[in-house]
Structure 1
């Protein structure tokens, strides 16, 4: 079986994607990737001359989302009903920057 991907390629990809791989994992990943690439070899046997590339598998896809509609909302009091802490009509949350206290 030809080798399309080397262990160096796998290490480079792992470094680029910040995935830590052991030496055993690099070896196994190299074998796996080469087997995957080799399994796609029959695709190259098709005569695709004159076949236009497709850019989306569904074809003429259009936006299927609903129209934006302005709906009524709830009051500030309702929004704050279940807030553990509130102050001056706003949520009061713990500080996350190490300054302590609530903000």
Structure 2
């Protein structure tokens, strides 16, 4: 999906079902602790402890429509940030960026 080129990766999404199916009890406990810590620190910084988001899988047929809506509302655009990977697609294949270590 060429509409995704250059977008800043701002969120990490974990499907609840995947966490339930693929994490053991220790992993689930660690994930819960990390999420609680983030929630508490957001609260201490005066931010809402929990936000609610809409998530759109990029392989959905309507994903390009969502991109156009976001563009029309100035919530989309290329961002240059050395700490973020740029999503690149070749057809329907995600191309991972090269890293300095991978080049060595």
- TM-score, normalised on structure 1? 0.27
Task: Give the number of the structure whose alpha-carbon radius of gyration is greater.
Answer: 1
Higher relative CO (CA 8 A, sep ≥ 6), structure 1 or 2? Answer: 2
- TM-score, normalised on structure 2? 0.27
